[in-house]
Chains A and B, each alone.
Chain A
Amino acid sequence: MARLTETRQETGTARTLVFDVPGWPGHLAGQHVDVRLTAADGYAAQRSYSLSAPDRVELSVQRIPDGEVSPYLTDVLGVGDPVEIRGPVGGWFVWRPGAGRDVLLVAGGSGIAPLMAMIRARRLAGRGTRFRLAYSTRTPGDVFYADELRRPEPGLDVTHVYTRVAPDGWPRPPGRLMAADLGDGPPDRDCFVCGPTGFVESAADLLLARGHDPRRIKTERFG
């Protein structure tokens, strides 16, 4: 059983939620939880959400218009309210601070959540593994963790890709993720790709075309 302790508005349509979960066993960056909501008459719905921090139970939820669960989490659930959370789940799409190899993160929309957990885990570990993040959103206003990602951090290289509207003077015209957005440098990296299915499909194809080893490309699809 989890209780909401803190929230932060991430964008106009997304909210970050921090929970207190007594007895939480800890988790790895990249794992997710199942959230289960139950109505007064017993009707229940559950969905998966990635943990967006390595050291506490924090989720970042994008409101899907028409959605059953996400609008409740972004708009209704209040501080102090209980929810059922199950996890952590998933032992594949994870980054371990000891891994040592350079990392390429590719995020689409709310797919940044588990990748942010990895960026934060790297910071906590205080080690020099080099990270590169290519983050695709429709507009600058859709960027999660905008302030945190704007702060310079040695060894972390962040590229924003805007598909609909770019800020004034932005060098890259709005459009879908392309090979050039993934940076240059040798393809000998561990890659983590996360976002909606279509985005993950095309990003993983771009990585393969650039010569990345398919065994080192891990993907998580949000549906």
Chain B
Amino acid sequence: MGIVSPGFHGRRRESAVKLPPGQYLTEDFPVLSAGPTPRIPVEEWELTVTTETGRQHRWTWRELLDLPSETPRVDIHCVTKWSKLGTDWQGVSLDVLLADVDTAADFALVSSYGGYTTNLPLEDLLDGQAWIVYRYDGEELAPEHGGPVRLLVPHLYFWKSAKWLRGIDLLTEDEPGFWESAGYHDYGDPWREQRYQGD
């Protein structure tokens, strides 16, 4: 337990669900990003997956929409302390997207239009744990929330769920992304409160 702050009682907005440590519930949908919001017309949007051998796989917007989609309902947890429960998305499971990609890589470095990057172990993108999504709450995904397409990896802090998704590099060695290079935790498990390096 930390140092007691005299006279602090807290609001304790109790909820039936248990939140990861240090998180509080929010009803609205805060926006966090490091720079201005890129606006990418869907006709120009393209996703590239590059394997460790340099082999490239590409999907256009139309090709993405033609893949079988899922509608995950998940809780999301931002490192800035808010959690949002039962969010509704539509998109393509990474299991579908990577099914025909031949790789022995253990790591993924995800990159965005606008220059943002974030890294994850490849296994965290597979087995029904991650999607690339283009709809939120029944609507087209708004640019400030990462539209037209963002990554969704709800079991990690939300900075891993890169907005304005553009590419995934499959790597044999881990390479830190934008926030990871700026002192944030390499993995980012909210339940273990892995916010910063050394947590």
Give residues in A with beta carbon < 8 Å to B. Answer: 1, 36-40, 42-48, 68, 72, 76-78, 81-84, 89-93, 197, 200-201, 204-205, 207-208, 214-215, 217-219, 221, 223
Check A1–B34 contact: CB distance below 8 A.
no
Check B8–A76 contact: CB distance below 8 A.
yes
A-B contact pairs, 27 of them (CB 8 A): A38-B2, A38-B5, A39-B4, A39-B5, A43-B10, A45-B10, A46-B22, A72-B5, A72-B7, A77-B5, A78-B6, A81-B5, A83-B5, A89-B196, A91-B183, A197-B30, A197-B31, A200-B31, A205-B36, A214-B35, A217-B35, A218-B35, A219-B33, A219-B34, A219-B35, A221-B32, A221-B33
Check A47–B81 contact: CB distance below 8 A.
yes
Using known A-B contacts A36-B2, A40-B4, A91-B182, determine if residue A218 contacts B10 with beta carbons closer than 8 Å.
Answer: no
Range, interface on chain B: 35 or more
Q: Which residues of B lie under 8 Å from residue A37 when comparing CB positions?
A: 5, 8, 10
Q: Which residues of B lie under 8 Å from residue A44 when comparing CB positions?
A: 1-2, 10, 22
Using known A-B contacts A39-B8, A39-B9, A221-B31, determine if residue A92 contacts B36 with beta carbons closer than 8 Å.
Answer: no
Of the listed residues B37, B114, B179, the one surrounded by the most CB atoms of chain A closer than 10 A to its CB is B37
Q: Which residues of B lie under 8 Å from residue A45 when comparing CB positions?
A: 10-11, 24
Check A38–B24 contact: CB distance below 8 A.
no
In Å, the complex CA distance between A1 and B32 comes to 28
Residue B38, interface by CB 8 Å: yes
Check B38–A214 contact: CB distance below 8 A.
yes
Check B81–A46 contact: CB distance below 8 A.
yes
Q: Which residues of A lie under 8 Å from residue B182 when comparing CB positions?
A: 90-92
Residue B3, interface by CB 8 Å: yes
In Å, the complex CA distance between A37 and B82 comes to 16
In Å, the complex CA distance between A89 and B178 comes to 14
For the complex formed, measure the closest distance between the CB of B118 and the CB atoms of chain A, giving whole angstroms: 13
The number of residue pairs between A and B whose CB atoms lie closer than 8 Å in the complex comes to 98
Q: A38-B1, A207-B36, A219-B35 are in contact. List 13 more A-B contacts (CB 8 A).
A: A38-B2, A39-B5, A39-B8, A46-B81, A48-B81, A78-B6, A83-B3, A91-B182, A92-B182, A197-B30, A201-B144, A205-B37, A223-B82
Q: Which residues of B lie under 8 Å from residue A218 when comparing CB positions?
A: 34-35
Tell me if B's interface is mostly helix, strand, loop or mixed: loop
Give residues in B with beta carbon < 8 Å to A. Answer: 1-13, 22, 24, 30-38, 80-82, 114-115, 144, 178-179, 182-183, 196
Check A214–B114 contact: CB distance below 8 A.
yes
Closest to A66 in B: B11
In Å, the complex CA distance between A219 and B5 comes to 32
A-B residue pairs, 8 tightest by C-beta: A204-B36, A91-B182, A38-B2, A68-B11, A37-B5, A37-B8, A197-B31, A43-B10
Check A82–B5 contact: CB distance below 8 A.
yes
For the complex formed, measure the closest distance between the CB of A116 and the CB atoms of chain B, giving whole angstroms: 21
In Å, the complex CA distance between A76 and B7 comes to 7
For the complex formed, measure the closest distance between the CB of B21 and the CB atoms of chain A, giving whole angstroms: 9
Check A219–B4 contact: CB distance below 8 A.
no
Check A84–B3 contact: CB distance below 8 A.
yes
Check B37–A201 contact: CB distance below 8 A.
yes
Check A81–B80 contact: CB distance below 8 A.
no
Using known A-B contacts A45-B10, A90-B183, A91-B182, determine if residue A38 contacts B37 with beta carbons closer than 8 Å.
Answer: no
For the complex formed, measure the closest distance between the CB of A161 and the CB atoms of chain B, giving whole angstroms: 19
For the complex formed, measure the closest distance between the CB of A131 and the CB atoms of chain B, giving whole angstroms: 20
For the complex formed, measure the closest distance between the CB of B7 and the CB atoms of chain A, giving whole angstroms: 5
In Å, the complex CA distance between A76 and B11 comes to 15
Q: Which residues of A lie under 8 Å from residue B196 when comparing CB positions?
A: 89
For the complex formed, measure the closest distance between the CB of B35 and the CB atoms of chain A, giving whole angstroms: 5
In Å, the complex CA distance between A82 and B82 comes to 25
Partner of B12, one of A43, A81, A93: A43
For the complex formed, measure the closest distance between the CB of A130 and the CB atoms of chain B, giving whole angstroms: 22
In Å, the complex CA distance between A215 and B24 comes to 32
